[in-house]
Amino acid sequence: MKQLHITETVLRDAQQSLIATRMPYDDFEAVLDEMDKAGYHSIECWGGATFDSCLRYLGEDPWERLRKIKSHMKNTKLQMLLRGQNLLGYHHYSDDTVRRFVRKSVENGMDIIRIFDALNDLRNIETAVDECLKAGGHAQGCICYTLSPIHNLDMFVELGRQIESMGCNSLCIKDMAGIMSPQECFDLVTALRENIKLPIYVHTHATTGLGYMTYLKAAEAGAAGIDCATSCLSGGTSQPATESLVYALTQMGFDCGVNVKELKKVNDFFLPVTEKFSASGVFDPYVLSTKTDALVYQVPGGMLSNLVAQLKAQNAIDKLDAVLEETPRVRADLGYPPLVTPLSQMVGVQATVNVLLGERYKNIGKEIKSYIKGEYGKAPGPVNAELAQKVLGGEQPITGRFADTLEPEFEKAKAYLGDRAQSEEDVLSYIAFPQQTEQYFDKRDSEKPLVVQFSIKEVG
Ligand code: CO
């Protein structure tokens, strides 16, 4: 029988996509032993927005959460998502921070680190990959999947070759927007398998309704594994359902390695948890409906709902069509970056500003300027020359790796925190999210409840 690995995402991407990463550790602790018996290849449980959310909203130490989860996992590998040189934040950190962060992740129990760069600039994942391997972790390099006139099979295969030669243990095709069609997936997995030896994992979302079909074609093409979410937290902006895919794939002759009875126990456990978030309004059924607009506009579902929210706030929802037409133009001007955090937010805001001011690039966002200066990495394609001139004047963009220009951060942060930091992990939390971490330290010191705030929507 052909093997197909299942990664269960309920503790990370599924709850990030459906309930804004608001699930506290106490809500799922009681199911961890059961999850460990289910036979998943891995459980994605950390990274992405979970780290920020623990500190910002839940009053939890993310490192402690990781250690606690690990203590229940005798058989199952833990997996996390890391934004390369951005770690779990929104800007580039210095190499000393990246190395310490990755090493501490492995030391605290992480097995598989899935590492991506929003621009597919692999220089931005090199340090994290290198340290993961040195620390004894499994490094999974990512191709961020996107469609554009410059993204094609050859380009993706070349990225795959580079990921392989970097020493990664496996490769992930990361379709954060759920726009990869079944046929595109089949062709891409096939092309990668013809050219590289790494096992290929496929990550998609059910947003556009293609996800289930895409996974079947991934399996047919010889993918090593797929990411699914337990059924009560599946569908819509989350992953396709674990149980349904296991059912279908088993009949197609795949051994998914899971115990179906355990899968049911896991889902039975999460059902009332889900209902609690529905009752409080955190879980909005709107995110579950199939949204095919993303296929027309080529923008991720999360980004679309952001644009709608922004325009409503400006009392300009009548401009939505204009903004949706402007979005791909801005993306083209920037050399077709994949629309994943943080680029999805940057492109969306600039398109909105261009439309609302009635003049393109009258006002250029600070992040867009940094992008054009090369501070996020190399743009996939050429940046519009006129726009580049406007931002750079006579200056040259950075062509090297931006992190090479950054001073070491760790010792400075450690000195600043003094006694407040009880561990190296504390210092790393502070470097990653200074404000939220100080707020968490205050809470830890005094045990006062946290004030709840709102955050930006993640697309990843
Ligand atoms: Co995702």
Mean pLDDT of 155-169: 98
Centre of ligand 1 from the C-alpha of residue 340, in Å: 10
Q: Give the residue with greater pLDDT, 298 vs 428.
A: 428
- Measure Cα distances from 239 to 22, 94, 233, 431 in Å: 17, 33, 8, 31
Centre of ligand 1 from the C-alpha of residue 239, in Å: 8
Mean pLDDT of 430-437: 96
Write down the H helix ranges in 171-319: 182-195, 211-220, 242-251, 260-279, 293-297, 301-313
3-state DSSP call for residue 265?
A: helix
Q: In the predicted model, what is the mean pLDDT of the chain? A: 94
Tokens representing 407 are: 């001073």
**DSSP assignment letter at 457:** P
Centre of ligand 1 from the C-alpha of residue 460, in Å: 4
3-state DSSP call for residue 143?
A: strand
Q: Which amino acid is at 72?
A: H
Centre of ligand 1 from the C-alpha of residue 115, in Å: 12
Centre of ligand 1 from the C-alpha of residue 139, in Å: 17
**Residue 22: its pLDDT value, please?**
94
Tell whether the model's pLDDT for residue 458 goes beyond 80.
no
Centre of ligand 1 from the C-alpha of residue 41, in Å: 17
Centre of ligand 1 from the C-alpha of residue 405, in Å: 30
- Asked if 438 and 28 count as a contact pair (C-beta separation under 8 A), the reply is no
Tell whether the model's pLDDT for residue 442 goes beyond 90.
yes
Centre of ligand 1 from the C-alpha of residue 7, in Å: 12
- Judged on CB neighbours under 10 Å (0-12, 13-18, 19+), 365 is middle
328/337 Cα distance (integer angstroms): 10
**Residue 291: its pLDDT value, please?**
87
- Asked if 48 and 460 count as a contact pair (C-beta separation under 8 A), the reply is yes
Residue (of 68, 91, 59, 56) closest to 11 by Cα position = 68
- Judged on CB neighbours under 10 Å (0-12, 13-18, 19+), 272 is exposed
Residue (of 332, 335, 331, 355) closest to 344 by Cα position = 331
Centre of ligand 1 from the C-alpha of residue 261, in Å: 26
Q: Which amino acid is at 305?
A: S
Centre of ligand 1 from the C-alpha of residue 81, in Å: 9
Centre of ligand 1 from the C-alpha of residue 421, in Å: 32
388/367 Cα distance (integer angstroms): 14
Centre of ligand 1 from the C-alpha of residue 203, in Å: 7
Tell whether the model's pLDDT for residue 118 goes beyond 70.
yes
- Measure Cα distances from 458 to 9, 244, 372 in Å: 16, 26, 22
Least confident of 191-200, 284-293, 348-357: 284-293
Centre of ligand 1 from the C-alpha of residue 13, in Å: 6
Centre of ligand 1 from the C-alpha of residue 175, in Å: 7
Centre of ligand 1 from the C-alpha of residue 260, in Å: 24
How far separated are the first and last CA of the chain, in Å rounded?
33
297/27 Cα distance (integer angstroms): 37
Name the band, by pLDDT with cuts 50, 70 and 90, for residue 449. low
Tell whether the model's pLDDT for residue 454 goes beyond 70.
no
342/366 Cα distance (integer angstroms): 13
**Residue 295: its pLDDT value, please?**
85
Centre of ligand 1 from the C-alpha of residue 264, in Å: 23
Residues 6+ apart with CB under 8 A from 197: 164
Quick one: what percent of the chain has pLDDT higher than 90?
85
Name the band, by pLDDT with cuts 50, 70 and 90, for residue 309. confident
Residue (of 13, 15, 38, 21) closest to 264 by Cα position = 38
**DSSP assignment letter at 317:** G
Centre of ligand 1 from the C-alpha of residue 174, in Å: 7
Length of the chain: 460
Centre of ligand 1 from the C-alpha of residue 227, in Å: 9
Model-level pTM? 0.93
Centre of ligand 1 from the C-alpha of residue 363, in Å: 31
Residue 164: CA count within 13 A, CB half-sphere? 14
Centre of ligand 1 from the C-alpha of residue 15, in Å: 11
**Residue 452: its pLDDT value, please?**
52
Centre of ligand 1 from the C-alpha of residue 385, in Å: 33
Least confident of 96-110, 159-173, 435-449: 435-449
**Residue 304: its pLDDT value, please?**
77
**DSSP assignment letter at 297:** H
Centre of ligand 1 from the C-alpha of residue 53, in Å: 16
Centre of ligand 1 from the C-alpha of residue 228, in Å: 10
Per-residue b or e along 310-340, where b marks 16 or more CB atoms closer than 10 Å to that residue's CB? bbeeeeeeebbebbbebbbebbebbbbbbbb
397-430 pLDDT tens trace: 999 999 999 999 999 999 999 999 999 999 999 9
274-287 pLDDT tens trace: 999 999 998 988 88
- Asked if 88 and 48 count as a contact pair (C-beta separation under 8 A), the reply is yes
User: What does 64-131 look like in DSSP terms, one character per residue?
Assistant: HHHHHHHHH-SS-EEEEEE-GGGTTSSSPPPHHHHHHHHHHHHHTT--EEEE--TT--THHHHHHHHH
Centre of ligand 1 from the C-alpha of residue 177, in Å: 8
- Asked if 310 and 354 count as a contact pair (C-beta separation under 8 A), the reply is no
- Judged on CB neighbours under 10 Å (0-12, 13-18, 19+), 34 is middle
- Measure Cα distances from 368 to 146, 287, 333, 334 in Å: 19, 29, 11, 9
Centre of ligand 1 from the C-alpha of residue 362, in Å: 34
Least confident of 83-92, 199-208, 382-391: 83-92
